[in-house]
Structure 1
Amino acid sequence: MKLFTARKTSKGFVYKKIVIVFIAFLIPLISMNIWVNYKGMSLTKNAILDSSLAGASFYSKQLDKEMYFIRNLQLQFLSDKDLQKLSFRGSMLENYEKVALIDQVRDRLTTLLISSEYVINAGVYVSAVGKTISSMKGVTNTPNEEFRIISSMMRTMPKPSFYREGDRIFFIETENNGGTISYIEISKSKLLEALNQISTLYQESEVLLGNRDLGSIMSTTMDNQESAAILHLIDDQSQSVRDSISPVSKKVKGTSYFIMENDVGSLDLSLIMYVNQREITRPLSQFITWFYTLFGIAIVVMVLYSFSLSLMIHRPLSKLVKAFRMIETNNLNIVIESKTKDEFHYLFHSFNRMASKLKRSIEVNYEQEIALQHSQLKQLQSQINPHFLYNSFFNIYMMCKVGDSESAAELSQKLGSYYQYITRSGSDEVPLYKEYRHALDYCEIQCIRFSNRIRFEYDEITDVSNTISVPRLIIQPIVENVFEHAFEDDSMDGVVYISSTHYQPEAVRITVEDNGNLVADKDIEILQEKLAMDSKQMEKTGLINVNNRLKLKYRSGSGIFVSRSQYGGLRVELVIMNENEEA
């Protein structure tokens, strides 16, 4: 019998344990890899955001410094001695001196104009002379257009940090209780150019300048609703969040943005830069792709490892387990096929040799048992007491002498049947009823020999016992033991009781009892110990011989059992538990 597969014989506990241990070691590595990757991506993203924030902060600070510089120049201009002289004494000065002072003030305005690219016009109104002096319009008597615009903006309350007239932005400062008004117009195009320069840090970024009250002053995007939504999100943040340097993530119109806010104190505005998150995380997408690829590879490796482990270890081991289980069922006709040259090939080859040797040993042992039974039978046949034959012939002689021919004929017939049965060299097994009948013949011969001083009583054997085969000479030695040891003192009225009980399917009990009084309790205990001992260490005579033969042939529970009889003598039970009753 060749063994190829063992899919349903083993639950694969060893295989499961190995796979579980492998996964248990692999999961922390995968978890650590996931943590390191996400940590690295987080650090990289934060580094990118910090760089963006630093860039935006740098440009905002530059813009703030430039505006502070312009305002400081404006304040210094108001303190100019020529402007102060013109403001306080303009109405009292001669025309020549007045014109000279106006030229000096105009030169200072020109210097202020060229001090910054953000300044497109610088001017001053001097009420003492009733004129506006401008780097763009020159010297103009009031009222004029510039004075009208400046006057209208001056009425704005409370005083703002800067003034607006349509799209125009002005810095306005006064001196001498409004007698002197300095105004500087800031180039909105230059401011927008500065915002565009900041927005070039990222392709998908926008920059706006504004606050909650004024809204968006200017922005690099044409979408005013988007700018308003960004300002609204900034205004909703708590003060602690607004004071922090880190950018915040917000979603506007379904798009997530990183929003970075920087204050421009000179204008009392916020410079806000917002960048599409996808642009920030786009460089990290490749790492994410590689991460999931490696994760998938790890899963594939785990599956391939489990499959290879099943192929190389689990299946051969299951095959070996199945083979051992088949041996437990006494199936030794098994050969494990091996197509590899690994350690399992050696195990399979050794197993096949072990099974072959075990099968051979069992066959040899069985043959030895058969031979032992033959020898025991021959030994029993040779142990027949010669005195029994002599006494029987002497009894026949005496019957002939006294003319009792019928009794002599009956004893001769019984004696012939008896010796014919015990000397038969044919089959070692006979039907149980024949063995039972032979024991009864022996009892009749003995009763004739003892001149009817001893008698026997028996029960007829059941018809079911006709189908049971037993070894020869298993009942007669028990009966012989009774006549030899129970009635040695020639006591009168000795009785032998023989009965047969068929109490289970394929199970029979033959009982032989006597009413003798020669067997002591101690003798019964010694005999019980001998019957319970290993048969290989006992001599093969009498009851022990029969007991050994029964145990060799039949299953557990068979054998000879002795006890005290209810009639006062020895009770011997011969129990046969046939193998056919295994179910």
Structure 2
Amino acid sequence: MKNMRLFGWMKRLTIFPKLMLLFLIGVIPSFLVSLQFFQNGAMSVRKEIWGSMETRVRYNISSFEAEMNRLVRLHELYALDDDITKLSSMSSILPYYDVMQMQKRVQNKLWILETSSLYVAHAKAFIPQLNKTLLPLTDIAPMTGNEVEQLKNLNKTQQSPIAFWEGKLLINTINPNPNYVSSKNVLYILQSELDQYKLNVFLRQMLGESDEGALLFTDKQDWYSNAGSLEDSALDKEIMENAVLQAEPTGVGRSIVRSEGRTFYIAYERSELLKMTLALYVPEEKVLGPLHRYRAWFRSLFGAALVAVFGFSYSIFRSIHSPIRRMVQAFRKVENGDLNLNIKHKNNDEFQYMYGQFNIMVGRLRQSVQDVYHSKIMAQQSELKQLQSQINPHFLYNTYYMVHRMAGMHDFENVERATKFLGDYFIYITRNAVNDANLEQEWNHTLSYLEIQQMRFQSRIEADVFYQCEELGTLRIPRLIFQPLVENAYQHGLHSKTENGRIVLTLVNRLEENAVVFSVEDNGETLSEEKIKALEKKLEDSSFGGLESTGMINVHRRIRLRFGEKWGVRLEKSVLGGLKVSLYLPDLFHEAEGE
């Protein structure tokens, strides 16, 4: 009887309590128990393994750093050696016997340097005055001038005492130091080449388990050495990138990397002195080996969870699946733009309330879309008027002074030409009541502006014009969109040219793109690739609004407001050496014919 009452009470519950009850009864206990088992075991094993790995990494990177520091100090000591100093500066005036004795003593020191460390493969001293390179037991040809210059340049840029050059790891001591003395000649170069095989042996002695691996690499990642049974280049790259991205300020860290379906635990430490990082990694299956004894527990819990999930899923399918599927379909229709729909639910439960709220939301959304659409149209028209009013012919002041000077010199022929072009210019820009013009009218206005500028800068700048749009002369386009681009070239591209300046104007019809392209290019020498990218960023940023804009940005915004995101200004490096600004407009004539 009590069971009947319990089931009757559950049937009277709404969907949310039913779901909560089933979730608590079926999933949470099994999940928490299994999760606790695995978390405790995994945490314990990870701590032990990572602690051991970090200890080994810290010991080995410290010992390696100490050995490299000893070699650097030995280099510095030899740099003060009396024999090396005399051979590099006085060998030409010393007796031959003394020179040979000093050379032998230097070779003995090189032998000590080479044999005192496991990591030194070769030690040598290049002394230009002797015209030879000394080795511990012999001597060889001197370094070439190109090699010396490369080593000097390398010394200026390297941050670590160990340099990677032509596949070799080198410790170089150059006198005089190119970082402090800008001398073309060197007195001597002491050089120790590290044995990369011995470095690999050093990494291998760190390893314990068969699947462990070790990796030593530079900060620039231009050199690395790996050891272990895997030696996977893709894994090595993942480890190096991960160590750089997750590096702590102390240079010590741990991380997890996944490569080719396997997970690896990594402990690493960076040497600030050597600008190198030593990493030790081990597969996850080795780290979590002690957790295998928990598998039987997990299988039992997993079976119980499956039974609970099956009952839970069946209940969801009967109580929730159909209403949710209907609502998802309605959302997809709204996503596709269908706002004229109304959904209904038969049962008196939470879904009936959700359906009602959904219908209210769609109605409000439909009204909001209409309001936003009208507001956007009005805003675009308002901004277009404002952008047009911002265009200001700054060059007029200088042009008036030019006409004044011509009149003073009685150059009446050019005065007549200049005032004619100025008159045409004024007539065109003062037509505020008209927003559009024919393509030919806009082109002629631009030529009037160009003629005035050429009269001002005829001794400095040469202009070329190419017009290939005769059949599109009556194409309607926004006014005052060509002249600001030409003005930009004079003000920014050619302002520093005192002679041999050049500007080229081109208006062409590209039928394959259904586009009319007006381009202005110059041979200005002050515009770098970085500046071009900065200008392109400004153009993109201007597309998102903002009222403070002039010149080229102004034109770009107007065209996008009028014709859409596909059209507007594009920037590139000109073959003349300066900037090429291209304005893309839709060819509405041929586009209509194609349709």
Structure 2-normalised TM-score? 0.41
- Structure with greater Cα Rg: 1
Structure 1-normalised TM-score? 0.42
